[in-house]
Structure 1
Amino acid sequence: MAKKGEADVKGQKEVKDTKDAKESKKVEEAKSGFNPSTFVQGLKEELDKVVWPSRQQLISESIAVILMVTLSATIIYLVDNFFGWAAKQVF
């Protein structure tokens, strides 16, 4: 059984090794420069991870956004008119 201090050192070493591996990978990528085929491959991989909404979900969420924007604009308009009216009464 390892002592508490030994386990901490081992865990820190693993974290350091992981950081070193990531840094060396970044350095390799920086040295190689821009590669369009690698970029397109990475782009396709990332787009495969995207969860695209269904048509019904897209429509309902779009309607919700339009309604909220309309409601917000109406409230701002009414508050602005109220303060304009109040300013005319005072001044």
Structure 2
Amino acid sequence: MSEGRQYFVLGIEADAYRILNDSGNPYLYEPALFDVIDNREANDWITEFGEEGERYAYPPLLNVSGFFEDYFDRKPEQISIFWSVVNQHLARAA
């Protein structure tokens, strides 16, 4: 992550932000590393809470158990879905 750069939160997993890093990979980062400048979330995010109150929130197509494991295993369907969702959300945010 680069200091002073703005990042777009793609989802929240166990309270961590899923963010496209400088290499274009969707990794998890602790929220304390960032200053939130716009806390609006897309209306279609599905939010759930874990047993200890931790928050999980993703767009519907990314809110599938094992989605990111499959993405990082380079499964073509998940890669295609991921970039389609990211492009849609970035277009709406612009």
TM range (shorter): under 0.3
Q: Larger Cα Rg: Structure 1 or Structure 2?
A: 1
Q: Which has the higher strand share?
A: 2
What's the TM-score, normalizing by structure 1?
A: 0.24
Q: Which has the higher helix share?
A: 1
What's the TM-score, normalizing by structure 2?
A: 0.24
